[in-house]
């Protein structure tokens, strides 16, 4: 490069050092961007809020098993007694489905774990029961789940 085209008056060595450092800065910028994108994606996944109004008491008639997506929970009404179970499988975190057999309970479609209607493990690979959630009915018949 001569003096007319090289207005910064850099030597070849200085130019290459500047170019190399610029490459490192660009690579670092890409890395920071990708990490922040990854962290942002994790933060915006659908995470249930700690307190979910699942509906009114009439939405959960006796004998029913109802999935409440906002809480990721199964709500069961056993003769007027409401219970709620976390629908997240304790094996690797898939959502369990209501078992459509004569014996009530839940089935995990991912690896085949089976849970009783009380959330107890009936068949692995899951080793821990489904997590019970706090559920209550407010004086105005709203069903509230604490996740």
Residues making contact with ligand FES (CB under 6 A) = 89, 91-94, 108, 110-113, 125-126
Q: How far is the CB of 124 from ligand FES (least distance, A)?
A: 8
Measured from the CB atom, is 82 or 133 closer to ligand FES? Answer: 133
Nearest distance in Å: CB 87, ligand FES: 11
> Which CB sits closer to ligand FES, 23 or 124?
124
CA distances from 19 to 3, 6, 102 (A): 19, 14, 71
Measured from the CB atom, is 96 or 133 closer to ligand FES?
96
C-alpha 60/C-alpha 62 separation (Å) is: 7
Alpha-carbon distance values, 14 to 2, 4, 17, 25, 26 (Å):
14, 17, 5, 16, 18
């Amino acid at each position: 490069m001569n003096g007319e085209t090289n207005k910064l008056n850099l030597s070849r060595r200085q130019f290459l050092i500047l170019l190399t450092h610029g490459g490192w800065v660009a690579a670092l910028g890409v890395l920071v961007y990708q990490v922040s994108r990854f962290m942002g994606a994790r933060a915006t996944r659908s995470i249930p809020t700690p307190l979910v109004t699942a509906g009114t008491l009439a939405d959960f008639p006796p004998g029913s098993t109802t999935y409440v997506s906002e809480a990721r929970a199964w709500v069961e009404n056993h003769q007027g007694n409401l219970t709620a179970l976390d629908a997240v499988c304790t094996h690797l975190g898939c959502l369990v489905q209501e078992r459509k057999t004569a014996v009530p309970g839940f089935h995990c479609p991912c690896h085949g774990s089976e849970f009783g209607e009380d959330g107890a493990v009936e068949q692995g690979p899951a080793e821990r029961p489904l997590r019970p959630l706090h559920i209550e009915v407010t004086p105005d018949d709203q069903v509230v789940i604490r996740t």
